[in-house]
A and B are shown apart, each in its own frame.
Chain A
């Protein structure tokens, strides 16, 4: 059994994720001894405040980090496959710019309403991301086909338009809202609750399973559309579904976390170096890799400058880039 096989990589990555998760539940601005954390997780009652901190503050946040990290990394892997372009990431069709515009609108208009515990900001971000994705999809469609270059350029143009509108809104907002917008744009899991977990887990899990189902077809398409067709793959349909699935996955993630960069771009590359280009392996490996990176980054976001918080997007890049550059430098071949 080679190192690249899933039988080795999955337990390895799962183990790492497990260790990091325990660390993340145990560590934070408030010191809670590991024995107490274990007791609390086992359901035994502890001091009330510590139980609240571990169960209602740290646990939902950890689950969101795992879900969002996994979703972004898998979405990125699918986008890179769809566009056959190493620069592709989950935000390439304008999901992030649409979400940013939606969130900024909600923040500047002070739409501080709550629906089942979900803020107007998160809902508005999700709406913006959906709207932009649908627009790009509609504008770039030619007959039943989705030409890659057209999707790419339409996405870039829509993204730029949304960013411009976001800038206008920001410049006319007051300093309080400006601070909140900036922090949202840099991505954060600060103060997220169980309601956020409940809001996104069904979509994220469904999206991840959905993409996994098409992993084999994507492999075949990448080996040549012609031969994929002979093998019975409805190429256009699969590509459409992949694009929509990956965008929706990113949209749901962005709605609760703000814009977290790097995870969706580099984790898939990292995992391709580890498990190879087969999407049946690459998808699960990327999900685990993304979850690991985000759990680690969120832990640092919470403790490095406590009691304040760092934006998680800055940490993911600062953590992951040097490691990625190191792996790139070690590779002899020029191709990914």
Chain B
């Protein structure tokens, strides 16, 4: 049973209600972000957060050196269950789901993740999959960003060679001595270090310089493609993108991007047209 008194006590203070409003507007804020325009010391804000955490209204999650704060609507939901019939229940339930999601994922595992793995099966030969991953006439069709358009890789794909990433539709080329082909065993395995997040790259992709600088500060990651025959003209393609540090923001970014890129690649090879 929750301590309803603690919840009401926590809600009785306007500063604490403002903190909850802030989290309701944008979840997962740091202490520094929560302090913005509160007009009080960091220490006072921290104390208010302790009261909210004590009442179970705020849940925290460590991410690297930062502590992120999440609104937990469950106690309010419980009170609503008892006292209020017309309440925005869908929203409260969505927030309660968030808490469940946070609880369901062991926090140490979440922040310890340092790689992304994605497997798909494609109706194609290994040679064609290799060509699709390396040949600009393929990559620029399926490997696309809404702002910068199609991607092509310029290199001889020899182990130890450097590569350039070109976004021809916006006239952008990213070169860097550390953009290296690490392994090249056609048509079975290809691996290279990830490209640099230069200021020009960030601008062309609609990322702020602060975000890009954070990404640039992380160690350079690498990607490997394994191409295996899986019988009857089917290839198993496994993408392993690793070399991230726990809590990596780049990892979160590539985790969202790979399934869409690989899905469009599969569609292009199987139907002759990439995903729209």
Tell whether A and B belong to one assembly. no
Q: Which residues of B contact A (CB under 8 A)?
A: none
Q: Which residues of A contact B (CB under 8 A)?
A: none
